[in-house]
Structure 1
Amino acid sequence: MTQRKRMSNTQSSSQSKRASGPAATQEEEDDQTFTQPSTTQVQRGLEKLTPAQVDQKTAEVVQFFLVKDQKKIPVRRADLVKHVVKEYRNIYPEIMKRAARIFDQVFGLKMIEIDAKNHMYILINKLETVEGASPIANPTNPKMGLLFVILSVIFMKGGVVGENLIWKTLKNLKVDVGERHEEFGDVKKVVTDEFVRQR
């Protein structure tokens, strides 16, 4: 009887220790349970999906990276698999390869792994500055950054998007169309008038 009590106390204390651990422990466990699929598994996974499905999931990964990059937060593989890749985890390497290609060819960015143990990624600018050119002497136009975000959304959605999606995306980036922005001024006018005129 005494031995049973001791065993149940030991079990309940170990369970409460596990339950009271930080939320990060759950994410670490999620990442440890994820195993990189083999080339054969990826090929089999791709055979079950349409190219449009793979492109859509790749676009979602690219968008996830861009939002995190905007906030200067590294992307953890565990978060990526859990919140974006989800049921497509069997083709994870292919999605990452395609996303890296998009960052390289479309955005001039390179996706690098900064922590191999925890699988954390960041984006870095691949474009080199002209030798001797001062960044202060050539300031970037803030409106070009806004245009870049809008064109990125259009590209990721296959070339056609509704106006509401553009406004929602900008709002997520803390650029409210209804308010005057300190850098862009009247955002709605810039997008619907100025950018349209420039084609």
Structure 2
Amino acid sequence: MSELRQPEADFQTPVPAQGLVEAQLLGAEGEEAVSPSSSSSYSDLPQDEEGPSTWHDQEDVLQHALCQKVDELVAFLLFKHQTKESTTKAEMLTILKDYQDHFPMVFRRASEDMRLILGLDVKEVDPSNHSYVLVPTLGLTYDGMLSDRPSMPKTGLLVLLLGLILLEADSVAPEEVVWGALSKIDVCAGREHYIYGEPRELLTKVWVQEGYVEYRQVPHSDPARYEFLWGPRAYAETSKCQVLEHLHRVSEWDPRSFPSLSAEGVSDEEQGA
């Protein structure tokens, strides 16, 4: 297993771990504040030079520090993914430094951020030495990263698009609805995005060629209007139930609020669609 070869400052800057992509678009409530474990000690926390901090102030300091560690761990995991390397729990513990006792919570939060924002699952591949890799979420095999240079994964936006399609009547999303929703997270057709590049090409060409979505003209529309549907690769690799559950986890929407979609998703899974 490779050792850490460069300091944290050299990691490529990741997507900020709070309030991006799906959470912004779907109106998720702000994440719960990081809670210190019952066994944590505040004796090592920084103290006000003018006097001892109150317990509340110390708790705020700890919460802020742990949120920073979550972001740093996300950056480290993304760096490992970009360089196609696995990592170990021992390596991740070096990122936490003075907060190693909080590793379970920080690891859980970082894993959830990777999944919901970037569309990547943290998967343990060797329990004997706690070795991990990142893989696209929901059974997808596409992460959108370029092979010739480090880039950001795009699976999170793909899952979001698949979810938007499902929430429209007959699982057909008018193009104007899609762009209207994505504009809320500053993903706009014709405008270069720092993660996704030119999003129109990504949605209407790249993902169409990859087989994840269909992009077609609305029949008899004049002037021409277009719409998005799931493509065959999306049906082959994931399911409506999985995507709906993803939306539920991000936005706290209950899939049962969409009974027809949920029933259809269950039917698809039963039939192996």
TM-score in terms of structure 1 length: 0.44
Greater gyration radius? 1
Q: If the length of structure 2 is used for normalisation, what is the TM-score?
A: 0.33
